[in-house]
Structure 1
Amino acid sequence: MRVLVSTYGARGSVEPMVGLAVRLRELGAEVRVCAPPDEEFAQLLAGAGVPLVPVGAPVRPLVTTVVPGSAAGLAQRTADLMAAQFGPVAAAAEGCDALVATGPLPVTASGRSVAEKLGIRYVHASHTPVSLPSPHQPPPARRGRPLPPGVSDNLELWDLDARNANEMFGEVLNAHRAANGLPAVDNVRDYAFSGSPWLATDPVLSPWRPTDLGVVQTGAWFRPDERPLPDELVAFLDAGAPPVYAGFGSMPMSAAKDVARAAVEAIRAQGRRAIVSRGWAGLELIDDQDDCFSVGEVNHQALFARVAAVVHHGSAGTTTTAARAGVPQVVVPQGADQPYWAERVADLGIGVAHDGPAPTAGSLSAALGTALAPETRVRAQAVAGTVRTDGATVAAKLLLDAVS
């Protein structure tokens, strides 16, 4: 069996798809991954032994320059993304038995169109529940189209979201479909999701309440990471009590220096050493004292098992990795689905949801005080024992069974 896995986005969109690809390959499938051509993604896939088909423009320059929520340049980015799906992605899908796609709507709607043209199975994968229509939650706002104030009916908001998606993406999508001999679609969003999207999140961390949409929750998809930690980092860890990790992954941050200072000062106020991850925001240490250590890309699965707490932005991947490690969390959500994950961490009692995206040393120290309390660690370790570790295996077997 041949499977094409297609994704476009930052690390949180690419990493879990690599986890699925690795498991599919272990079960005997031939797999390739379409992903952005950023160097770190090329290295990630090379390390996993999965062929990469580079698609579209690099993501990192885009993420770090686009104003959050702004629709400036969106029309051109939409056209480029869709052209890439009907071009190199379609070429890569030739001869495949299935296409699994995730990412923004222009990617997944075009991906399903490619699968339809080729007559192969299509699966829409979501790594967060907030993007899936449900009467129990409002939709996320689309770029340039904030949710109308005063409207509290979730179904009404989801209907508006579908109309917005049609207005933003329908014309370009249907032009490509017509050029490929496919009929027009009148609901771009629901077409992309299909009738049974897969939700690759843990059911304890992210319980899905049943709806009319046939969501299949598999558990989160992880790539087993056997990379050793750098020698210098191991030496720092061994030199004292477990430190506190602070990092914001792929999030751009205009006030990176202020955030780094707030994090280091808050960690020191709790009598702890600090590990600061540079990330895409380029966080730097605030001085040369030996109680702080700077890291780049490292094995979070190994590192989180050795820290006292994790301060982060609240992506699905980082939240789940920290939960699996049984380490308390302080989530400082910056946007997108991150407030949802912050709320889940707080509701489960495995950490603290920081109020707002701009922490001060005082606000972060107060949050860490709760996260570092013994009862929080006990709760985090208890929840860790319930987090599924077989999500990628479940999904891979479902796909293989469905195709065969």
Structure 2
Amino acid sequence: MRVLLSTYGSRGDVEPMVGLAVRLRELGAEVRVCAPPDDDFARLLAGVGVPLVPVGPSARALTKAALPASSLPQRAAQLIAGHLEVVTPAAEGCDVLVAAAGLLPAAAGALSVAEKLGIPAVSVAFQQVTLPSPRRRPLEYPGRPLPAEETDNQVLWDLDARNIDALFGEALNANRASVGLPPVAGVRDYVIGGRPWLATDPVLDPWLGTPGLDVVQTGAWIRLDERPLPDDLSAFLEAGEPPVYVGFGSMPLHESRDAGRVAVEAVRAHGRRVLVARGWADLDLIDDRGDCFAVGEANHQALFRRVAAVVHHGGAGTTTTAARAGTPQVVVPQLADQPYWAGRVADLGIGAAHDGPTPTVDSLSAALDTALAPETGVRAKAVADTVRGDGAWVAAKLLLDRA
């Protein structure tokens, strides 16, 4: 069986596809991944022996560029065109295509390729907040705020569909016409379909159902990471009490440029050592004191088990990894689904949700009070025992059955 996995975005959009690719290969499938051409992703896929088919511009460069909202339709058109050009030859001869639905134009382009070639396709979300639900408001798109006074979520989801069509509909249908495909009436519904997959843990992210939407929740797609920690990092960990990890992953922190300094000072106020993860924000040490260590790429599955708490942005992958490690969290959400994950961490009692994306020393220190409390550690360890690790296996077997 030949499978093509298509995704576009940050590490949180690529890492789950790697986890699925590994399991598919173990079941005898031939797998390729279409993803952004960033060196981080190339190394990640090369490390597990899965070919990367580069598509689109660098995701890191695009994220750090902070382009205006007015450029969204133009960027969508370019992204869709790029996917039609690259994904089409990559998908020829495949038995099934899996498209990550996080960035709608990219997913729409990949799914259009599957439609053109007559290949079965699956749309997957790595968080549920983009799936219509009567229980919550949709996310807002830049330049298209939702009316604050509107309390009927169905009205807001209808407006969300119209906003998406206004931003991406023309770009998608013009590109579809160029390859002989008919127009779609609604971009969001085309991408999600009637039976989307949700690759998240049901304890951390319980799906409560939406009429007319048959969601298949597989569990999170996790790649078992067996890499040892670097020697200098291991030495720092062994030189004292467990430190607090501070990292914001793929977030450039345009609105929180001082977050690194604030985090270090807040952690030090608790008498703790600090691990600063550089990430896409290029965080670094603020002085040469020996209680602080800067880390680049590392095995988070191993590292998070050796720290006192994890301060992060609230990406689905980081939240899940910290939860599986049984380590308390402080989530400082920046955008998109991150406030949702912050709320889930707080609701489960496994950490604290910071109010807003821009912490101060006092506000972050207060959140650390909660995360470092003994009862939070006990609760985090209890929840860790309930978080599944077999989501990629479940999805791989479903794909085999479908093909």
Fold-level match, TM-score > 0.5? Answer: yes
Question: 1:199 is aligned with what amino acid?
Answer: L
Displacement of 1:388 in angstroms is 0.5
Displacement of 1:256 in angstroms is 5.6
Instruction: Find the counterpart in structure 2 of residue 92 from structure 1.
Output: 90
- d(CA) in 2 for partners of 1:277 and 1:117? 43
Superposed CA deviations along residues 252-280 of structure 1, whole A, max 9, x for unmatched, are 11366521111111111111100000111
Matched-pair contact (CA < 8 Å) for 1:35–1:53: yes
- d(CA) in 1 for partners of 2:25 and 2:136? 36
Q: Does 2:208 match 1:188?
A: no
Give the secondary structure class of the aligned counterpart of 2:306.
Answer: coil
Superposed CA deviations along residues 25-81 of structure 1, whole A, max 9, x for unmatched, are 1111100000000111111110011000000111111101115xx413212211111
Superposed, 1:201-350 pairs within 5 Å as: 201-212=200-211, 213-254=213-254, 258-350=258-350
Instruction: Find the counterpart in structure 2 of residue 77 from structure 1.
Output: 75
Instruction: Find the counterpart in structure 2 of residue 129 from structure 1.
Output: 128
Matched-pair contact (CA < 8 Å) for 1:256–1:283: no
- d(CA) in 1 for partners of 2:31 and 2:220? 19
Structure 2 gaps of 5+ residues are none
Matched-pair contact (CA < 8 Å) for 1:256–1:282: no
Matched-pair contact (CA < 8 Å) for 1:332–1:357: yes
Matched-pair contact (CA < 8 Å) for 1:257–1:284: no
Question: 1:293 is aligned with what amino acid?
Answer: F
Using the TM superposition, name which of 211-220 and 376-385 deviates more.
Answer: 211-220
Q: Provide the TM-score with structure 2 as the length reference.
A: 0.97
Q: Does 2:62 match 1:62?
A: yes
Superposed, 1:373-384 pairs within 5 Å as: 373-384=373-384
- d(CA) in 2 for partners of 1:257 and 1:80? 30
- d(CA) in 2 for partners of 1:359 and 1:126? 29
- d(CA) in 2 for partners of 1:265 and 1:163? 45
Matched-pair contact (CA < 8 Å) for 2:198–2:219: yes
- d(CA) in 1 for partners of 2:91 and 2:57? 19
Superposed, 1:17-56 pairs within 5 Å as: 17-56=17-56
Instruction: Find the counterpart in structure 1 of residue 142 from structure 2.
Output: 143
Using the aligned pairs only, state the percent identity: 69
Taking structure 1 as reference, are residues 28 and 284 closer, same or farther at Cα in structure 2, changes over 3 Å only? same
- d(CA) in 2 for partners of 1:143 and 1:5? 28
Matched-pair contact (CA < 8 Å) for 1:56–1:81: yes
Matched-pair contact (CA < 8 Å) for 2:256–2:357: no
- 4+ runs deviating over 3 angstroms: 254-257
Question: 2:204 is aligned with what amino acid?
Answer: L
Q: Provide the TM-score with structure 1 as the length reference.
A: 0.97
Using the TM superposition, name which of 254-263 and 285-294 deviates more.
Answer: 254-263
Instruction: Find the counterpart in structure 1 of residue 370 from structure 2.
Output: 370
Question: 2:157 is aligned with what amino acid?
Answer: W
Taking structure 1 as reference, are residues 106 and 362 closer, same or farther at Cα in structure 2, changes over 3 Å only? same
Superposed CA deviations along residues 324-347 of structure 1, whole A, max 9, x for unmatched, are 000000001111100000000000
Give the aligned CA root-mean-square deviation in angstroms: 1.1
Instruction: Find the counterpart in structure 1 of residue 357 from structure 2.
Output: 357
Question: 1:51 is aligned with what amino acid?
Answer: P
Matched-pair contact (CA < 8 Å) for 1:333–1:342: yes
- d(CA) in 2 for partners of 1:197 and 1:210? 12
Displacement of 1:98 in angstroms is 0.7
Structure 1 gaps of 5+ residues are none
Give the secondary structure class of the aligned counterpart of 2:34.
Answer: strand
- d(CA) in 1 for partners of 2:370 and 2:259? 19
Between the two proteins, the alignment pairs up a number of residues equal to 401
- d(CA) in 1 for partners of 2:63 and 2:115? 30
Give the secondary structure class of the aligned counterpart of 2:368.
Answer: helix
Question: 2:80 is aligned with what amino acid?
Answer: M
Question: 1:14 is aligned with what amino acid?
Answer: V
- d(CA) in 1 for partners of 2:180 and 2:257? 52
Using the TM superposition, name which of 174-183 and 138-147 deviates more.
Answer: 174-183
- d(CA) in 1 for partners of 2:269 and 2:261? 12
Using the TM superposition, name which of 292-301 and 252-261 deviates more.
Answer: 252-261
- d(CA) in 2 for partners of 1:187 and 1:79? 16
Matched-pair contact (CA < 8 Å) for 2:246–2:277: yes
Question: 1:327 is aligned with what amino acid?
Answer: T
- d(CA) in 2 for partners of 1:290 and 1:84? 47
Question: 1:236 is aligned with what amino acid?
Answer: F
